[in-house]
Amino acid sequence: MDYVDPARNLISFTTGTGAVFAESAPAQAVDAFRQAWERVAADHGVDADQVIRIEAYWQPAQWDERYLGRTFGDVELEYVFPRPDPGGWHTALDRAREVLDEVAAAD
């Protein structure tokens, strides 16, 4: 995934053919994965049953976890950063920026 501001949750959807489609949504949104998926599906004509893997900066919220289960079933899901409690976003975003800056500097 390319570096973006971690205030946006960069989410990628990989299909069984190896195609990767990425979108971002506000990291703090409880439906960030839904927002990203709806844009990918609309823009690229991808069906949920084609998706075998989802990767994201941030762990999905509980609402999105249920949405992902209903929409994609038992798809592989990976994320970089755990979702903080609602009051912990400022600290979590600062730490995520530090980590991503370190990764970018190492490239």
* Closest to 64 measured CA to CA, from 37, 40, 91: 37
pLDDT tops 90 at residue 103: no
Phi and psi (nearest 5°) for 74?
-95, 60
* Sequence spans of domains, the chain: 8-106
pLDDT in tens, 4-36: 689 999 999 999 999 999 999 999 999 999 999
pLDDT in tens, 49-85: 999 999 999 999 999 999 999 999 999 999 999 999 9
Looking at domain 8-106, its CATH class is alpha beta
Predicted structure pTM score: 0.91
Measured between alpha carbons, how far is 105 from 107 in angstroms, rounded to an integer?
6
Q: What average pLDDT does range 91-95 have in this prediction?
A: 97
Give percent of the chain with pLDDT exceeding 90. Answer: 87
